[in-house]
Each structure stands twice: as C-alpha cells, then as structure tokens.
Amino acid sequence: MAGQGLPLHVATLLTGLLECLGFAGVLFGWPSLVFVFKNEDYFKDLCGPDAGPIGNATGQADCKAQDERFSLIFTLGSFMNNFMTFPTGYIFDRFKTTVARLIAIFFYTTATLIIAFTSAGSAVLLFLAMPMLTIGGILFLITNLQIGNLFGQHRSTIITLYNGAFDSSSAVFLIIKLLYEKGISLRASFIFISVCSTWHVARTFLLMPWGHIPYPLPPNYSYGLCSGNGTTKEEKKTAEHENRELQSKEFLSAKEETPGAGQKQELRSFWSYAFSRRFAWHLVWLSVIQLWHYLFIGTLNSLLTNMAGGDMARVSTYTNAFAFTQFGVLCAPWNGLLMDRLKQKYQKEARKTGSSTLAVALCSTVPSLALTSLLCLGFALCASVPVLPLQYLTFILQVISRSFLYGSNAAFLTLAFPSEHFGKLFGLVMALSAVVSLLQFPIFTLIKGSLQNDPFYVNVMFMLAILLTFFHPFLVYRECRTWKESPSAIA
C-alpha cells in the first residue's frame, strides 16, 4: 500500500492546491473585477451627469454612489465568506467530505453562471452571485485542509500552504481583467470557469474520501481511487479499529507526559473551548486584522482613483500590480515551516523536561501570531502614506500579512484545540469575525462622507487596534510558561 499510497497522497495534495489556487478565494481579487465592471458601466446610472466617462484617462472617474455599491457587494461577499464557515463547518463535520463538496460545486457554478449572464442593466444580481461564490470557495478550502493529515509532521506546512493558495486565487480576477483588455468578454471567461466544475466533480469522487481523513493516519488507510479496490467491510472495520488503537496510544502517551491532563481534555465540551479566554483573544486578533484587510481590498479601486487624480491608466497599472503580488502561496509555507520547526524543537525539550505535548504545540504558535501582527502593522503604516509609488510596498506587505493571517488562524485552531472540534471552532471564529467585518461599509461611508475622502483618522484608529492584537501572542506565551512551570495547570 505504501507504494500506491504515496502517489495518491501527492496527487490529492497537488490537485487540492490547484483547486484552491484557481477557484477558492477569488473574492480577494475584487479590485480587478471592479475595474472591468466600471468599464461595463455597472451601476453607472447612480452617478450624476458630471461624473465623467470611465475610460477618460484625464477626467475624474470617481463616483461616490457607484463606489459605495461596489463596496457594499464586497462587504456582503466577505461577510458570507466568513459567516457561512460555521454552518458549512458543521455540514463538513456532520455529512462529511463528498456532500460538502457537492454543495460547494452547486453554489460556485451557480454564481459563475449568474455573473456570466449579468449586464449593466442586471448588475443588482451581483448581490446574489458574490456571496454564493464565496460560500462555494470556503467549502472548497475546508474540505482541502484535512489533506494535511496525510503528511504527519508536515501538517502545519500543508495547512498554511492551502491557505496561501486560497489567497493567491485572487489572481484569477486579474487574468479575467487582462483577457478583457485583450477583447475576451466577461461572459466568456465566467462560462469557462463554470465548465471547470466538471473537474471539481471528478476530483470529489476520484481523489477525495467520502468521509474525513483521520489524524493520526491509521495503517493501510485508503480513500478515493484506492478505496473501491476490493475493500471489504471487514477490512474497513479493521482499519477503524487500528485508528482507534493509534489514537488511544497517542492519548495515553499525552497522559503519561502530563498526569491528570488527559482526562480534563476528554471531559471538556465544545462550548467550554468556545468561551475560553484563549479562543476569545484569538477572535479579537483575527477580527481586527481581517477587518483592516477587507477595508483595504474593498476600497482599493476608490483609493487608487483618488491618489492617481482620476487617471484611469495609472489606476489600471496599480490594480494590475496589486493583483500580481497576490501570490500568497509563495509566502504561506514559510509560516507553516516556522511552526513545524518550532514544534519539533519544543518536542525535544518536552522529552527532556517532561512537559505536556499540548504546551509544546501551543508554544510553537507564538512567533507566528506575533509576526502576523507585526506584518499587518507595517502594511497599515505604508497604506496610510498617500504616496502612489509606496503602494507597491503596501501590496507586498498586504499579501504576506494576509497569507500569515489565515495560515496562522487555521494552524492555531488545529494545534490549540482538540481535532474533533476543529470544524466547529474554525466555523465559529470565522462567523463571529464576519460580523465584525460588516463595519467596513459604514467606515467606507464615513471616509467618503464626513471625512471627505481623507482616511487619515481611520488609519490611525486601525493602527492602534492592530497594536492591541499583540496581546494575543503575549497571553499565549504566558500560558506556555505557566504550563512549563506547572504542568498540572493545563486547562
């Protein structure tokens, strides 16, 4: 089985990366799509007669009502991207991989077909299409994250790699924009994406399990193409028994390292973790950084238009530059590698000192959480300076920060909480942070209205809020120190 299993694992990994890279997180390429929509006169009827033509490189193309409508669509899409993670996480936990993926394919295909057949007269359908697109995308991500379980010690690296691929799929909208400028219609591009759903269906049945990929991985585990090769009920029962035995050994091992800790972990319910201080501060950390990212992406077209003085040729150039930098798949694995290396280092220390494996796992997340906050602070500082060439650096810091954000989020929840609650906790933290992300629209309205297109005070407010996020890694570090000094304090 080893000779057959490795190629299948690799095929599953690579096709999963392609799926996340090409489809899952396209919402983050919104600025590129907005540029196309503006050229197609979507919501142009909301602008006054003095708004000026979009294609005029010297005229002022900024239209407050039009920008607000696009910002509202992005706000709704990003909200659904996160909020629906909780019910979709439950669907994944309850109904397993195949059902979750078929739901994802339905939402995604319907959304791309709606966008394909919209026009300036039916632009309001974008309010339906973009949320559906994001729901399908996040389900693709959730069902792919479990692939990390196939790679044992490299679990964190794989998880962050998939999150980086999810971020990088924003480049799809850049490709659509460039094709549009070469004469390929928006309809043709989205019909092609819709047809690609046949590949998603094939991958669902050939390269993914019907249920969940267990961790730790039991001996002779098979799925996808291999699961139907004469696998009997007896063999399946044997595999399940081996898996329970393996999990039992791991549980007993942890119990030996930390007397009394194993039983506490076993008795704790989902809600005891959901209401814990550790989860609450992680929610604050994610919500603040994510809100800043969403506000920046959702208002980028308007921001560049103001900085460029309405010169749409320069806006197009910087929009392309932003999209080209969105290859977070190149940045995210470094975060996972950092966490895996630190975990291995702390495991060696734990064997010498008798520390808990839970403390080891948690300690490995501290540098990643702190570095993510630091990168976001640098990104916010650069974005606050109204100098157009400096925005190249802003774009680079933005994509690195975002790659670290979602990779750290998934890896932290995986390492800091029991695996049986991962789907629900991941969904809950994304859903609650989605409620916070709704603030981006009133903030955008405030900038456009009372602040007269000057985001200075909003930027200062966000920088102070980002400084607050450093408290999360600090508290996790303190918790780790407490565990090392007193293993019985684990809760």
| Model pLDDT for residues 49-103, shown as the tens digit of each residue | 655 444 444 333 568 889 889 999 999 998 998 888 778 878 888 898 999 999 9
Residues 6+ apart with CB under 8 A from 282: 409, 412, 413, 416, 429, 472
Mean pLDDT of 94-122: 94
Residues 6+ apart with CB under 8 A from 86: 424, 427, 428, 430, 431
Q: Token digits for 326?
A: 């969105």
In this structure, of 130-139, 176-185, 326-335, 435-444, the range with the lowest mean pLDDT score is 326-335
- In this prediction, residue 353 carries a pLDDT of 66
The amino acid occupying position 474 is F
Contact at 8 Å (CB) between 375 and 400?
yes
- CA 96 remoteness from chain centre: 20
Mean pLDDT of 181-195: 95
Position with higher pLDDT, 265 vs 156: 156
Residues 6+ apart with CB under 8 A from 157: 148, 151, 333, 336, 337, 339, 340
- In this prediction, residue 99 carries a pLDDT of 94
* Sign of the C-alpha dihedral computed for residues 171, 174, 178 and 184 taken in this order: positive
Contact at 8 Å (CB) between 177 and 33?
yes
Mean pLDDT of 29-38: 92
**pLDDT confidence tier of residue 423, bands split at 50, 70 and 90:** confident
Q: Is the peptide bond before 216 cis (omega within 30 degrees of 0)?
A: yes
- In this prediction, residue 332 carries a pLDDT of 64
| Model pLDDT for residues 192-238, shown as the tens digit of each residue | 999 999 999 999 999 999 988 887 788 888 887 766 543 444 444 54
**DSSP annotation string for 242-258:** HHHHHHHHHHHHHHHHS
CA angle in degrees (0–180, nearest 5) for 104-284-393: 80
Instruction: Assign domain 8-46+62-221 to a CATH class.
Output: mainly alpha
Mean pLDDT of 317-324: 89
| Model pLDDT for residues 453-484, shown as the tens digit of each residue | 888 899 999 999 999 999 999 999 988 877 76
**pLDDT confidence tier of residue 442, bands split at 50, 70 and 90:** very high
Which ranges of 299-439 would DSSP assign to H, the alpha helix?
A: 300-307, 312-324, 332-353, 357-363, 366-383, 391-416, 422-437
- In this prediction, residue 229 carries a pLDDT of 43
CA distance 351 to 340: 17
CA angle in degrees (0–180, nearest 5) for 187-189-195: 100
Is the pLDDT score of 247 beyond 70? no
Exposure of 18 in the CB half-sphere (CA atoms within 13 A): 11
Indicate the fold that domain 274-490 takes in CATH. Growth Hormone; Chain: A; (1.20.1250)
In this structure, of 10-19, 326-335, 432-441, the range with the lowest mean pLDDT score is 326-335
CA distance 28 to 141: 14
Q: At what angle do helices 171-181 and 186-195 cross, to 10 degrees?
A: 140
Per-domain boundaries in the chain: 8-46+62-221, 274-490
- In this prediction, residue 357 carries a pLDDT of 65
CA distance 60 to 52: 6
Position with higher pLDDT, 4 vs 276: 276
The amino acid occupying position 69 is R
In this structure, of 31-45, 132-146, 356-370, 440-454, the range with the lowest mean pLDDT score is 356-370
Mean pLDDT of 175-194: 95
CA distance 389 to 392: 6
CA distance 392 to 99: 42
Q: Token digits for 41?
A: 């006169």
CA distance 491 to 489: 6
**pLDDT confidence tier of residue 265, bands split at 50, 70 and 90:** very low
Is the pLDDT score of 347 beyond 80? no
**Do the domains 8-46+62-221 and 274-490 sit in the same CATH topology, yes or no?**
yes
- In this prediction, residue 106 carries a pLDDT of 96
Size (the chain), residues: 491
At 269, phi and psi to the nearest 5?
-90, 170
| Model pLDDT for residues 376-411, shown as the tens digit of each residue | 999 999 999 989 999 999 999 998 888 788 778 877
In this structure, of 28-37, 121-130, 266-275, 364-373, the range with the lowest mean pLDDT score is 266-275
Spatial CA neighbour of 173 closest among 130, 212, 135: 130
SS3 183: coil
